[in-house]
């Protein structure tokens, strides 16, 4: 895993120089990791009126009045998530206010397709507002940077997704005889193609077993979902499946989720569309191979290490082929095995290096932008 592009090293400000960053949102783990460099002061998310503590949406920072009031307390605005909370023209007004306050604006393009939205047209219009006006763009993969270049004629700094689990202890799991495939549907958000993904998984597991692989699968889904019709379809299909079972549950804690994923031979992503996947990054941290639909930039997140196999959306035979490659290929490592533990440890060491480099690259980008506006 490498950092594909980093800011130019010329005119680097001293590490000790302070950069006060208003990030949207500051409390997100991704944001905290990429701003964990010397001299970067991440401002807390302002409380959202009427919302419980810890809730950052809709982001108070993305308000021209708030930006004007904070003009002397912040040096730079960095937008990550939460823009979908606002209507047309609002982001333009925010960027204009930030520039009037003397703040550079950085936008990390996490999503070119928004996974929380069924209708993509409002979000596409927001990208057309913010991408041309931001002082610098960051994204997570070279594939996303290429699309940004094609759509808007702008270059994005490519910096990889940071670790999800950090230095926390990896869960211990038992070695099992049967190959275990997993798929998490969570609450069936719009970007999840739950019913079709379930159908594909059932057919793919049947194919694996017909080919001599002793495999079974588990589909996990929240008790409360956004699409009850899809939930009912999933229940009906899995009610008659011989080797795929459905588990409905409340939202798992991080520890519960990590333990479940660590016990998988492979994880299938159930997405209909998307750009980047934090779920894929979590599986990578845990040493779990991922079968991902050939959409978005999933294949570009870890393209060189055999940890991700793609399949054509809607093609059960292609999914079976991807899963076979993951669980029998040269890079296969059973959950609970020494090989899996060594893989996770190696990746943890890699993440320490790349996370530090990514945070340093963010800090330098911030300082270069601030220096450029001051000159």
Is the model's pLDDT at 13 over the cut of 80?
Answer: no
User: Is pLDDT of 1 > 70?
Assistant: no
Average pLDDT, stretch 92-104?
98
pLDDT at 16 over 90: no
Task: Supply the pLDDT for residue 330.
Answer: 85
**CA–CA separation, 357 vs 280, rounded Å?**
21
Residue 54: exposure state from Cβ atoms within 10 A (0-12, 13-18, ≥19): exposed
Distance set, CA 324 to CA 210, 214, 227, 236, 327 (Å):
12, 11, 31, 27, 5
* pLDDT computed for residue 176 by the predictor: 87
Rounded Cα gap, residues 54 and 275, in angstroms = 26
Q: What is the pLDDT of residue 36?
A: 98
Task: Point out the least confidently predicted range of 1-15, 63-77, 306-320.
Answer: 1-15
**Equal fold, 19-163+352-374 vs 179-335:** yes
Give pLDDT, residue 189. Answer: 97
CB atoms under 10 Å from CB of 346, counted, come to: 11
Task: Indicate the pTM of the whole model.
Answer: 0.95
The domains of the chain are located at: 19-163+352-374, 179-335
What mean pLDDT do residues 66-95 have? 97
Name the band, by pLDDT with cuts 50, 70 and 90, for residue 15: low
Give just the sign of the alpha carbon dihedral 124, 130, 135, 137. Answer: negative
Which architecture does CATH list for 179-335?
A: 3-Layer(aba) Sandwich (3.40)
> Strands 157-158 and 40-42: what pairing?
unpaired
Tens of pLDDT, residue by residue over 164-202, are 998 887 898 988 899 999 999 999 999 999 999 999 999
Q: Which CATH superfamily is domain 19-163+352-374 in?
A: Glycogen Phosphorylase B; (3.40.50.2000)
> How confident is the model over 102-130, as a mean pLDDT?
97
What is the per-residue pLDDT across 311-348, written as a single tens digit (0 to 9) for each? 999 999 999 999 999 999 988 999 999 999 999 999 99
* Backbone φ and ψ of 219, nearest 5°: -105, 125
Helix, strand or coil for residue 117?
coil
Round the average pLDDT of the chain to a whole number and report it.
Answer: 94
Band (11; pLDDT cuts 50, 70, 90):
very low
Instruction: Tell me what the mean pLDDT of segment 266-280 comes to.
Output: 98
């Amino acid at each position: 895993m490498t950092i594909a592009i980093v800011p130019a090293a010329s005119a680097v400000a001293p590490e000790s120089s302070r950069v006060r960053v208003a990030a949207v949102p500051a409390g997100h783990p991704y944001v905290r990791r990429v701003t964990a460099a010397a001299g970067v002061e991440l401002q807390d998310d302002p409380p959202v009126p009427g919302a419980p503590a810890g809730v950052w949406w809709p982001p108070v920072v993305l308000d021209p009045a708030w930006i004007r009031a904070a003009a002397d307390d912040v040096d730079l605005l960095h937008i990550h998530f939460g823009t979908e909370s606002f209507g047309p023209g609002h982001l333009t007004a925010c960027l204009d206010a930030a520039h009037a306050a003397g703040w550079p604006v950085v936008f990390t393009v996490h999503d070119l397709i928004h996974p929380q939205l069924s209708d993509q047209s409002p979000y596409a219009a927001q990208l057309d507002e913010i991408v041309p006006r931001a002082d610098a763009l960051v994204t997570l993969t070279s594939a996303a940077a290429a699309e940004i270049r094609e759509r808007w004629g702008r270059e994005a700094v490519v910096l990889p997704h940071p670790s999800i689990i950090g230095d926390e202890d990896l869960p211990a799991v038992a070695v099992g005889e049967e190959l275990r495939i997993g798929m998490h549907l969570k609450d069936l958000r719009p970007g999840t193609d739950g019913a079709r993904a379930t159908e594909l998984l059932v057919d793919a597991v049947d194919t694996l077993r017909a080919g001599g692989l002793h495999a079974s699968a588990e589909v996990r889904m929240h008790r409360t979902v956004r699409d009850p019709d899809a939930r009912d379809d999933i229940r009906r299909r899995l009610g008659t499946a011989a080797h795929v079972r459905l588990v409905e549950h409340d939202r798992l804690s991080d520890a519960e989720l990590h333990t479940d994923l660590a016990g998988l031979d492979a994880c299938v992503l159930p997405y209909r569309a998307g750009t980047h996947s934090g779920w894929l990054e979590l599986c990578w941290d845990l040493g779990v191979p991922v079968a991902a639909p050939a959409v978005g930039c999933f294949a570009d997140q870890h393209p060189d290490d055999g940890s991700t196999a793609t399949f054509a959306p809607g093609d059960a035979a292609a999914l079976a082929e991807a899963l076979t490659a993951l669980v029998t290929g040269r890079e296969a490592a059973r959950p609970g095995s020494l090989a899996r533990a060594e893989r996770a440890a190696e990746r943890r060491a890699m993440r320490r290096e790349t996370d530090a480099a990514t945070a340093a690259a963010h800090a330098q980008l911030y300082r270069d932008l601030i220096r450029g506006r001051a000159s």
